[in-house]
Structure formats: structure tokens, C-alpha cells
Chain A
Amino acid sequence: MRPEEVASTALQAAKGAGADQAEAFVVRSRSISAYVDDSRIKSVEEKSDLGVAVRVVVDGRLGQSSTSVSLSRQAQLCARSAVRTASLTPKDKVFKGFAWPAKGQSRFKVRDPEVATMTVEGVTEMLKDIIGSAVEVRKVKVPNGVLRVADLESTVANTNELLTHREASMVFAMVSAMTDGASPGEGNESFYSSYLKELDPHKIGSSARCKAKASASAKAYKGRAKLPVVLPPHELSEMLQGSIHFALSAENVNRKRSPLAGKVGKQVTARCLNLTDDPMDRRGMLSSPFDDEGTPTKRKVLVKDGVLKGFLYDLYNAQLSGVLPTGNGLRRSTTDPVLNYQMAIGIGSVCLVVRPGAKPVEDLVREMDHGLLVEKTSAPDVHPITGDFGLEVRCAHLVEKGEVRSTVKHCLLSGNMFRAMGQVSAIANDGTVSRNLILPSMRFEDLELIGSQ
């Protein structure tokens, strides 16, 4: 079944069951993944998935349901389930209705035909190339890794006669390399894109190998220090996701959970920081002219020269705040297309771009008299409400007078992300796609490094 047919079937069933308004979100995907285990191709898989999420309004009450779809009957049952759940909820005082059709249909899409026609053999060969670039016989191996390509299409249709269609592709790789020996080091590399031609197996494999070797040379850090710290894009992207990205969501503003609530027009970060959500950036894996409620997306300046300019809205929170939605109601993943219809609508940036600086990251390091260049932490998460973080360092380089002097691990990097964003002293020019962000390395002043006594 085509997504449009599933959506149409669901909408008809919802109306037939008594819905005043209804919306159907359908995703169909085909994905191929190959997994590495101990430097060999361990598993090869192909998945096909089709599913629908239905939201309805019945007498001012909201209901929703989702299901995987094999036959049209499942879409009908899903619509009836949504109507049944609506009948049990109280009237919603906020929601006024689903999106209306926009004038003019943009043809912008981020879909790579090469991904759509990719074979399992092709994916397997590319993964072998990554492994080959990472492995050094009896020195470095690849214990884990995955290469996934996916072709997907999604449709949003509603009873306002809105019909939008998104076609997209996904290329995702994550590999770890590990040194041999009694005290091994491990290095990871990941890759996110919509285009197969951007995947450089050699670059991914050799980068993971170099990181593993650096990690193997790391020694436990002793003592404590306050110092400037350079954080790389893949670590920083999760830290920004867990702090400013969370705080820019209108849901969190409306629920008084955002530390940025009430600060539009005020200085919230260092002046060198500029953040824009740009849904038309072709590098963005989620880029598209519509969000997953059918609202047109648009370029939004969120932080300009450190000043907060606005927030991200889905339909519900826009209606709650009395503003227009910004096209940020999403049900999308940058790593896996399967079961996306099960996701609840959530506010997210389509493609959050941090404006890069002019210098290479090497200059940011050279400028430090005494500092730290981080390669990897265990999990770079930040408390989204307070902004506090304490990250276990797995591999970082101590810098003295602009030169790397030693490599450390088993220590905590501690600080507060909202305060740290006010103390950004330099931004590099190495803009990198990491999930739904495009961001460079950045240097933060006065973070704390804590080791054993």
C-alpha cells in the first residue's frame, strides 16, 4: 500500500467513527544494515516497515493511536481506536485544530536516488572498506560497528484537505576501533548524512583507529584544575541537545521547565554564538519543507550574537502561546527509520546550525596556555533543567603552551552548560553534521577537571 492510500483509508475510517477532525501520519521505509563484530561482517539485515499514527478531535476531545500496517483493515482499526480514546478524554481547552494546506507546494527534498537503489551487497562492501581502514593486524581491531542506509517516505493528511509528502534518505555509520593489549583503548567515529557519496569509508575507519590509539595512551588524571576546554562536534551536539535545544522548545517554555523562558531579546550566550534552525539546509538529515503535522517549515534565527530571538513551536504549543507554529512538530530519527509512526509529536529543530568560526580547531588548541582538548566522554549528557553536567572523560589531551603534553582518562569534566555557553571564547571552522545539528568544535573557559587524589 502507498502511504497516501493508508492515510486516506485512516481518515475515512476516523470520519466514519465520528471524528470531527482527523490527521493521519504514515511512514514507509526500507532499510539495510550491516553490523561488524570483531572486525568481520556479523549480521546483514533488511527491514521493510509501514505504519500509521492517527490523531482525532471528537467534540473538542483529542485521541490518538498508532499501528504497523499490513492490510488496510489495520489503518481502519487504528482510526477507530483513536476515536475511542478521544471519547474518554476531557475536552481540550487549547487545541483548535490541525494544520491547513499551505499555498504553493515546495519540491525541496533531501533524497539520494543512490540510497534508494542500494543493495545489501553494496552496503556490505562499504562496511568492509571501513573495517579495512581501521584495522592494523595485531594492533587495532573493530569490535563493533554498523552501517545503515534507508529510503523513506512519509505522508501527512488531514480533514482540512492538507496533504504533504516527504521523501528522504539516511546514511548512518558508527564504528569503534580498539587497540590490542592488556590495557586497550577504544575510539569511536560516527557519520550522519542523507547522501551516500559523502560517506568516506577510509576517513571513518582511520579516524576511529587514531582515536583508539590515543585512548590507549591515556593515563588516569590525578588532582583537579579549572581550565579552558575544547569540545569536538559529536560530544558537543549531545550537550547542546540536552541544554539549549531543550530550552528552545516551546513545550518546555510553556511548562516552565526552560531556563530561557521570558528571556527573548536578552543576552543568553557569548556574543560569538549564532544559532539558526534551517530546514532548507541540504546537509540536514531531517531537512524538509514541512514538519510532521504538515506545517510549512521556515528558517528561524534563534540566537543572534548571543541574544535570544525566539522559540520552536509545534501546532499545540503555538495555539497555547497564541502564535503561529514554526514547523517544528516532528516524528523523525536520524539513525533509524523503523517505527517512527510510534513517536509522539515532539518539538525539535529540523536542522540546527551553529555558525562556524574562521579558525581551524588546531588554532583553538594552540591558543591555550593550559587547557584540555576532549576526544571522548562516556555520555555527554547535561541536566536539561539546571544545565549541570559531570562527564566521565574517556580520552582527552592536556595542553601546555599550545602543545599536547599528555593524554588522560578516568576523571570528571564538570560545569554548567548554560553558564558555559556564556563563556565560549572561540568557535572553530569544522562544521560537522551530528544528528539534527550542524556544529563546529568550540572552546569554553573555566570548566573543572576532577581526578582521583
Chain B
Amino acid sequence: MMQDVLEKAIDRMLSEKAEFCDARFQTLRRLNVTLVDGAVRTLTEETIAGVCLRARHLGSWGYASTTSSEQGAILEAASLAAKNARLGTAKGKRIPEVKGQRGSHRAKVKLHPSKVPLEEKLALVKDLDGAQRDVASVVNSNAAYMESVKTTMLVNSFNQALDWEEVRGRVNCMSIASNGSRTEVYYDIVDGSGGYEMFKSLDTSKMGRDCAKEADLMLSSTKCPSGETTCITDPMISGLLAHEVMGHASEADEVVKKRSFLSEVVGKVVASDLITMVDDGTLQSAHGYIPFDDEGSRSSRTVIIDRGEYQGYLHSLETAAEMGVKPTGNGRAQDPHRRVFVRMTNTFFEAGDWKLEEIIEGVKHGVLTDRAISGMEDPVGGGFEAKALRGYLIEGGEIKGMLRGFTLTGKALEILKTTDAVGRKVVLDGGTCGKGVEDFLPVSSGGPHCRSRIILGGG
């Protein structure tokens, strides 16, 4: 039994001077199906299994991981983890003992992807790819299906013994259209936590065809005006502002070492009173849903900003101990080979009470963004950078024309203080988040449409 071996590993690390330790056995099974231009380019099943041993000594961590499932190799790795912890020089408060939870938790899915024939998934992707070719200007069609089933068995020195399952899925398409002189790209994604039921009612023909039509429309888009302007960010770009700048700077590991521009702001007004922002790992259908984090803490909903006032940070066991608060269930690791540290789950701005038409009506000259390409964090300086896939020019309260991709920038706190309208509908956008250059985790970010002053350029 793997649990017995993990418990022996805990005993081994404790006997080698670990003040706290855990042993994490994780498996990750993924299916990827990719079609390109009508042909199956990838149909692959991937499996990872490994054990991560983690020991703490005076504020430093030692890690060792192995793909071996043999008891001898795992116990040897436990000794290495305990020894590695003693090489560290970091100091920190002792992690207070939490009541050990024990139990087994299966994912609450209606239709587990393992019960759906591969043929059905392949047919879905073929349909999604084929529909894009109905639009003449599309020179390259791409469609993909991905499912992942992750299991974790966690045992720690607080007598905790848990195992749980996380199930996620994603369907996406990307159309590339060309008129000979210009090439543009458009994409669409449906994803989340859950079983195959999230794709059962998906109209993949419509999704593929609409994606292709949008790529075609972008061939006549024009350059975005540059400079500081009134900008209505769509849910994806609003989400990047929430996640990349405000979210990363609210991760308490950055706060305890004062690498965050939000280190001293609890109780202070940091945004317009229309802004409320949360990180919520309990949203069961969202891509960043987790029942427990990778330290065994239950996921939770953390209010980061409440009507403009900053409330608090996201915590792992260690940062919670350091700051004398409860852990928030944000100690996460990518896989059995990676470290646990503070990470987000589903991070977003809450809804306001404006209709989108009302938000647009109030703009004499400005821009409405439409979909994101990427964003980048800046916990030190609080700088915002997001790349929009495209947008629309607004003149006299009306949408005038489509704009090709551009970049948004500025200081996040200055942007959020100018926010004067927040939409009624929150949309979450799933994806993966890296911290630094590695450690990629499933998350989501989002929000409603928000109107602010932002610097635009590029494209």
C-alpha cells in the first residue's frame, strides 16, 4: 500500500530532524487530441507518477522526488529531503499543528472522461476542425481536446492522510485567416473542472465556424490608437489585471519578504469603490478548482479587495504561520517533481451593476478590448501589461470598427482608481499560470467589463 510507504517516509524524515514533513504521491493522466488542417496531428496518452518528499528544518525546505514506486527508493528520497532541509539558511516561524484530516475524495463529475470512448472525443475534434474550413479565407485550422485526471495522496507529520482527485477538460480551436497580404488569428476555448458532461451539449460546428468567421473579420481590422485612453476591458483582460498584478502581489510569500507593492496596504483604499476582488478555489466548475491544496489545506474563498479597500493575502501553511493567520488553501505544486508555494486558484473581480451598453454609451473616445493573448506579473512595481487579441474603437458612445491586437499598460493602482463602471456579468477564463519561469498550474481569472484609463500601444 502506497499510504503505508508514505507514512514510513514521514517517520524517516522525523527521525532525521525534520520539524514538519509531508509525502505526496501524485499521478497525472492526460489525453491530448489535436487536429490540424483536417488531419490528426496528435493523439497521445500521457502518464506521470511520482513521489515528492518534503521536510522543513528551521524555516528551510528540503525536497527529493522520484518516479520509483519501490519502498527502498522512497525511503532513500525521504532521507535526502531531510538532509537537504538542513542545508538551507532561511529562518521562519514553526508551522502550528493543524487538526489532521483523513479521508478519500473522488471528483464530483457526472460523466468521468475515462467512461467516454476515445472515438467520441475524436469525432468532437474533427467536427470542430472541419467547421473552420467553411470560411474561404482560413488557411490553417486547428482543433484540440484535452482531459486530465490528477490524483494526490498526501500524508504529513500532523497525522493528516488524504487522497483526492481533480478532473479537468478543455476544448479549443484556432483559425488562421489570410487575404494574401495579411494574416490574422482568432481562437476560442471552453474549459473547466468537471467531467465530459461540459462538452456533451457543446455545438462544436458552431464554435469552429464562428471562430473562423472572427478570424476572417480581423483581416480588415485597423491599428489601435496609442497613448493613454478610456478603455473598457473585457472579462479576459479584466482577469489579467486581477490575476497578474493584484493577484501575484497578494501571494503572501511575496509579501513576507516585501517583494510586493501590496505589502503594507491592508485596510487601505487601493481601488475605486466599485472594485471587489476575490480568489476562490471552491468554485467547482472553474478551471482552478481544487478541493485541497498540495499541503492538504481545504481550498477557500479569500476576499482580497472589498469595495476598494484591501483586505488580505493568499497563504500556504508557512506564510500563514509567518503572519499569524489561517492558511487559505493556496499552497500548490505543479506535479510530484515541483515545490509547493503560494499560488492562486480562480481570481477575479466581482460583478457591478452596469450593462455593457451603458458602459459604452459614456465613452466619447476610447477602446473596448476583446480577448487576451497574454499578461505578465509585476509584484514589485505594480505595473500592468496585457496583450489583447483585438478590440473595438469607440467614438461618441458607439462602437465604430475593429482594432487589431495591441498592448495595455500602466500602474495597476492608478488604473483601478480610475475605474468608473463595472459590468454585471462575470466570465472566468481558464488557463495555466507560471510563477517566475516555471511551475505551471491550472487556474482561471476573469471579471466583468470594467472602464478605466489605460495606456495602449503596439499592433
- Find out whether the CB atom of B49 lies under 8 angstroms from the CB atom of A47: no
Residues of B within 8 A of A383 (CB): 373, 387, 405
Residues of A within 8 A of B185 (CB): 385
Smallest beta-carbon distance A299→chain B, Å: 29
- Find out whether the CB atom of B42 lies under 8 angstroms from the CB atom of A344: yes
**Given A68-B48, A414-B226, A450-B226: A255 in contact with B140 (beta carbons within 8 A):** yes
- Bound complex: CA of A141 vs CA of B256, how far in Å? 14
Smallest beta-carbon distance A386→chain B, Å: 7
- Bound complex: CA of A186 vs CA of B457, how far in Å? 24
Residues of B within 8 A of A411 (CB): 409, 455
Please provide the 9 A-B residue pairs with the shortest distance between their CB atoms, ordered closest to farther. Answer: A390-B458, A390-B407, A45-B63, A392-B385, A38-B257, A412-B457, A44-B84, A379-B376, A256-B139
Chain A to chain B contacts (Cβ below 8 Å), 6 pairs: A34-B87, A64-B44, A144-B259, A220-B411, A381-B387, A389-B458
A124-B87, A186-B380 provided; 7 other pairs, C-beta below 8 A?
A: A47-B64, A63-B44, A67-B47, A335-B438, A338-B337, A339-B337, A390-B406
Binds B, one of A48-56, A97-105, A196-204: A48-56
- Find out whether the CB atom of B458 lies under 8 angstroms from the CB atom of A40: no
- Bound complex: CA of A379 vs CA of B36, how far in Å? 29
Other-chain residue from B87, B385, B436 in contact with A41 (beta carbon distance below 8 A): B87
Binds A, one of B11-19, B66-74, B203-211, B296-304: B66-74
- Bound complex: CA of A390 vs CA of B40, how far in Å? 35
Smallest Cβ-Cβ distance to A144: which chain B residue: B436
- Bound complex: CA of A390 vs CA of B408, how far in Å? 8
> How many residues does chain A have at the interface if contact means C-beta atoms less than 8 Å apart?
86
- Asked if B220 is at the interface of the complex by the 8 Å CB criterion, the answer is no
Residues of A within 8 A of B44 (CB): 63-66, 85, 344
- Work out how many contacts link A and B, with CB atoms closer than 8 A: 248
- Asked if A69 is at the interface of the complex by the 8 Å CB criterion, the answer is yes
- Find out whether the CB atom of B405 lies under 8 angstroms from the CB atom of A386: yes
**Given A51-B67, A450-B455: A44 in contact with B46 (beta carbons within 8 A):** no
Smallest beta-carbon distance A90→chain B, Å: 6
- Find out whether the CB atom of B380 lies under 8 angstroms from the CB atom of A178: yes
- Bound complex: CA of A74 vs CA of B45, how far in Å? 13
- Asked if A13 is at the interface of the complex by the 8 Å CB criterion, the answer is no
Residues of A within 8 A of B176 (CB): 255-257, 385
**Given A45-B65, A69-B67, A452-B228: A89 in contact with B43 (beta carbons within 8 A):** yes
Interface string of A26-51 (1 = CB under 8 A from B): 00000000110110111111111111
Interface string of A333-367 (1 = CB under 8 A from B): 00110110010100000000000000000000000
Smallest beta-carbon distance B435→chain A, Å: 9
Residues of A within 8 A of B216 (CB): none
- Find out whether the CB atom of B67 lies under 8 angstroms from the CB atom of A70: yes
Other-chain residue from B45, B88, B254, B410 in contact with A43 (beta carbon distance below 8 A): B88
Residues of B within 8 A of A124 (CB): 87
Residues of B within 8 A of A146 (CB): 436
Residues of B within 8 A of A388 (CB): 404-405, 458-459
- Find out whether the CB atom of A412 lies under 8 angstroms from the CB atom of B458: yes
Smallest Cβ-Cβ distance to A449: which chain B residue: B457
Which of A64, A81, A93, A412 counts the most B-chain CB atoms under 10 A from its CB? A412
Residues of A within 8 A of B49 (CB): 67-68, 70
Smallest beta-carbon distance A200→chain B, Å: 21
| Interface set, chain B 216-255, CB cutoff 8 A to A | 226-228, 253-254
- Find out whether the CB atom of B259 lies under 8 angstroms from the CB atom of A143: yes
Smallest Cβ-Cβ distance to B382: which chain A residue: A410
Interface string of A320-338 (1 = CB under 8 A from B): 0000000000000001101
- Bound complex: CA of A76 vs CA of B105, how far in Å? 30
Smallest beta-carbon distance A126→chain B, Å: 12
**Given A42-B61, A46-B84: A184 in contact with B380 (beta carbons within 8 A):** yes
Residues of A within 8 A of B62 (CB): 43-45
- Bound complex: CA of A144 vs CA of B90, how far in Å? 12
- Bound complex: CA of A120 vs CA of B376, how far in Å? 32
- Asked if B352 is at the interface of the complex by the 8 Å CB criterion, the answer is no
Residues of B within 8 A of A256 (CB): 139-140, 176, 178, 183
Residues of A within 8 A of B68 (CB): 48, 70
Residues of A within 8 A of B80 (CB): 46
- Bound complex: CA of A51 vs CA of B48, how far in Å? 9
- Find out whether the CB atom of A88 lies under 8 angstroms from the CB atom of B458: no
- Asked if B99 is at the interface of the complex by the 8 Å CB criterion, the answer is no
Smallest beta-carbon distance B228→chain A, Å: 5
- Asked if B1 is at the interface of the complex by the 8 Å CB criterion, the answer is no
- Asked if B91 is at the interface of the complex by the 8 Å CB criterion, the answer is yes
**Given A120-B87, A383-B373, A383-B405: A42 in contact with B381 (beta carbons within 8 A):** no
- Asked if A94 is at the interface of the complex by the 8 Å CB criterion, the answer is yes
- Find out whether the CB atom of A410 lies under 8 angstroms from the CB atom of B122: no
Smallest Cβ-Cβ distance to A338: which chain B residue: B337
- Asked if B184 is at the interface of the complex by the 8 Å CB criterion, the answer is yes
**Given A47-B64, A255-B36, A344-B42: A89 in contact with B122 (beta carbons within 8 A):** yes
Residues of B within 8 A of A68 (CB): 47-50, 67
- Find out whether the CB atom of A37 lies under 8 angstroms from the CB atom of B43: no
**Given A70-B49, A451-B455: A41 in contact with B88 (beta carbons within 8 A):** yes
- Find out whether the CB atom of A41 lies under 8 angstroms from the CB atom of B89: yes
Interface string of B253-272 (1 = CB under 8 A from A): 11011010000000000000
**Given A45-B84, A92-B40, A255-B140: A412 in contact with B90 (beta carbons within 8 A):** no
- Bound complex: CA of A68 vs CA of B68, how far in Å? 9
Which of B69, B254, B257, B459 counts the most A-chain CB atoms under 10 A from its CB? B257
- Asked if B111 is at the interface of the complex by the 8 Å CB criterion, the answer is no
- Bound complex: CA of A426 vs CA of B296, how far in Å? 55
- Bound complex: CA of A169 vs CA of B352, how far in Å? 54
Residues of A within 8 A of B438 (CB): 335-336
- Asked if A106 is at the interface of the complex by the 8 Å CB criterion, the answer is no
Smallest Cβ-Cβ distance to B30: which chain A residue: A342
- Bound complex: CA of A88 vs CA of B125, how far in Å? 13
- Bound complex: CA of A49 vs CA of B63, how far in Å? 14
- Find out whether the CB atom of B84 lies under 8 angstroms from the CB atom of A120: yes
| Interface set, chain A 166-188, CB cutoff 8 A to B | 174, 178, 184-186
- Find out whether the CB atom of A38 lies under 8 angstroms from the CB atom of B90: yes
- Bound complex: CA of A392 vs CA of B378, how far in Å? 11
- Asked if A369 is at the interface of the complex by the 8 Å CB criterion, the answer is no
- Find out whether the CB atom of B259 lies under 8 angstroms from the CB atom of A178: yes
- Bound complex: CA of A184 vs CA of B259, how far in Å? 9
- Find out whether the CB atom of B90 lies under 8 angstroms from the CB atom of A453: no
Smallest beta-carbon distance B339→chain A, Å: 6
Residues of A within 8 A of B409 (CB): 390, 392, 410-412
- Find out whether the CB atom of A392 lies under 8 angstroms from the CB atom of B405: no
Which of A90, A93, A255, A411 counts the most B-chain CB atoms under 10 A from its CB? A255
